[in-house]
Amino acid sequence: MWKHFYSLTQIPRPSKHEGKAVQFLEKFGKDLGLETIKDEIGNVIIRKPATPGMENRMGIILQAHIDMVPQKNNDKVHDFKKDPIQPRIVSKEDGDWLYATGTTLGADNGLGCAVAMAVMEADDLVHGPVEALFTVDEETGMTGARGLKPGILKGDILINLDSETEGELYVGCAGGLDATAIFKYREKPLPKGHEVLAIHVKGLRGGHSGMEIHEGRGNANKVMMRVLLPALRDLKAKLVSIEGGNLRNAIPREAVAVVALPPSKVKALQEIVDSVLAKVKNEYANIDPNIEIFLEKTKGKNMMCGQVALKMAKAVYACPNGVDRMSLEMADLVETSNNLAIVKSEDGQIFVKCLMRGSIDSAKEDLSEAIRATFELAGAEVTLSGGYSGWQPNMKSPILKTMKETYFNLFGKEAEVTAVHAGLECGILGSKYPNWDMISCGPTILSPHSPDERVFIPSVDKWWEFIVAALADAPKK
C-alpha cells in the first residue's frame, strides 16, 4: 500500500490533468493480468475474481478518486503539472505523521487509490468478487462520477475510500452547488501622480471547505474586503486588479488587491490596514494566529472605471460565508454552508465563485438564492451550476452492520457512524446504481486541500487491516 502511494506522489495528477496517473493505473491492472477498463471519461476499473470458497459473497467495489488538490505555500516553487510531491515524515508525541514539503500531499485521495491497488495486487487475501473504481476530476466537478455509465460495474456494495477520520463509518454526505457572479468593467489609464499599492492578505490556514468549514477559519477574500471596501468607498481609491483564492473547494488562504490613490491618502490606507489587522488577529487568535495584512509598492497602468469595483466589494462583503446552519438530525454536523472561494479580475471581468454545500437540497437552494440576490443587487450576472444531491443515510444498510461488527471484533470498540459535510462521490454514483449498498471510511487526514495536509501513519495501517477484514467478512448473496 505504501509503495503504491509513493508511486502516485511521483506522478503529477492535479484535477483535470490526471492523464499520466490514468495510464499508470491502466498499466498496473493489465500487468497483473486482471480485466482492466478505461471508460470514455477516463475512469479506470479493475476486476479481480473471488478467492476460492468466496464466490457466494456479494461483489464489493473499492472506490477512490485519482486527482489531488494543487495547493502550495507562496514561497514554494512547484509546478503541479510537472513536479513530483516530496513526502516527509515528522515524528510527534502521538506518533509519526506524513506531510509533503510546502505543498498538498495528495493523501486525499491517493491513499484510497493505494489501498485499492494493494488489494488488487495481493495474493494472500480472502475476498469475494472485487472491483476497483478509480475516478477522475473529483475535486473540481466530480466529472468522473458524473460520466460513469450505468451497468459497467458488476458489484453490489460500494466502499468509498475517501473519508478522513479513522474509526468513523460515513453513511451520508452533502450535495453541492456552484455560484458564479460576474461584474463587467472598463479600464482607463491611472491618473498621474497616483501611488500604486498592493494590499496583501496572507498567513491564513485555508483548508477543506467541507471538512473544516465548521472551524471558523479565516477566509482571505472576506478579510480583504474589510480593507478594500473602506479604501474604495471612503478614500476613493481605484481598483487595478484583485486575486483571491484559486480553488472552489479550498478555503482561500491568500488574496491580493492592487489599488491606486493620491499620495496624500496612503497614510490613511495604512491606518485602515493596521486597524483591520489588529481586529482580525484578535478575532482569529485561536484558529488563524499567523494572519498578515500589509501594503507593498507596485506598478500599474490602468484602473477600473466607475463604481463596479465598489459594488463588487460591497457584495463580497455582504455575501454569506462559512456555516449557514447546523444539522438538526445529527449532532455536530454542518447542514448548509458556503465557501466564498475565488475573487479574480481579468479581461474586463471580475469573477466571484462560491461553492455551497448542503445535506438538504431545499436548504442549499435557499442559500443559493440569497447569494444570487446579493450579487444581482450589485449589478452582477449570476449563474448557478454543477448541482448534485447528497447521499441520504441508510441506517439499515447490510454493509454498515457488517463493518461495524468487523471493526469491533478487530479493535474491541465501536466505530462511530456519522455523515460528512464534504461532497463524496457516493451521492452521484448512487444515483446511477440505486441498488448499491454504500459506505465510506478512511485514515486520519488533517488539513486536506492545504499545504498543511498530513496523514497519521498508524491510522493508515489500522485502516488497511480493517479493509482486509471487511473484504473477508463480505455479506453473502
Catalytic residue of the set 67, 166, 178, 437: 67
Question: Is 67 part of the annotated catalytic residue set?
Answer: yes
Q: Which three cell numbers stand for residue 293?
A: 495584512
State how far the alpha carbon of 207 is from the alpha carbons of 332, 405, 449, in Å: 19, 33, 5
Q: How far apart are CA 210 and CA 249, in angstroms?
A: 7
Number of other residues whose CB lies within 10 A of the CB of residue 155: 22
Half-sphere exposure in the Cβ direction for 86 (13 Å, CA): 9
What are the residue ranges of helices labelled H in 210-329?
Answer: 220-233, 266-283, 308-318
Instruction: Write the single-letter amino acid at 219.
Output: N
Closest C-alpha among 305, 294, 397 to residue 348: 305
Question: Is 123 part of the annotated catalytic residue set?
Answer: no
What is the total residue count of the chain? 477
Residues 6+ apart with CB under 8 A from 48: 34, 119, 120, 127, 129, 130, 131, 132
- The alpha carbon torsion through 17, 464, 467, 159 (nearest 10 deg) reads -20
Longest dimension (CA), the chain: 84
Q: Residue with C-alpha cell 485502516?
A: 463
Decide if 206 contacts 288 (C-beta within 8 A): no
Kind and range of the H or E run holding 472: helix 457-472
| Beta-sheet strand order (sheet of 454-456) | 88-92, 95-99, 454-456, 445-446
Q: Residue with C-alpha cell 510531491?
A: 85
Q: How far apart are CA 92 and CA 85, in angstroms?
A: 22
Q: How far apart are CA 176 and CA 209, in angstroms?
A: 11
Q: Which three cell numbers stand for residue 308?
A: 463596479
Catalytic residue of the set 18, 108, 138, 178: 138
In sequence order, what are the beta bridge partners of 57? Answer: 476
What backbone phi and psi angles, to 5 degrees, belong to 289?
Answer: -70, -15
What are the residue ranges of helices labelled H in 136-202?
Answer: 143-147
Kind and range of the H or E run holding 376: helix 361-377
| Catalytic annotation, residues | 67, 138
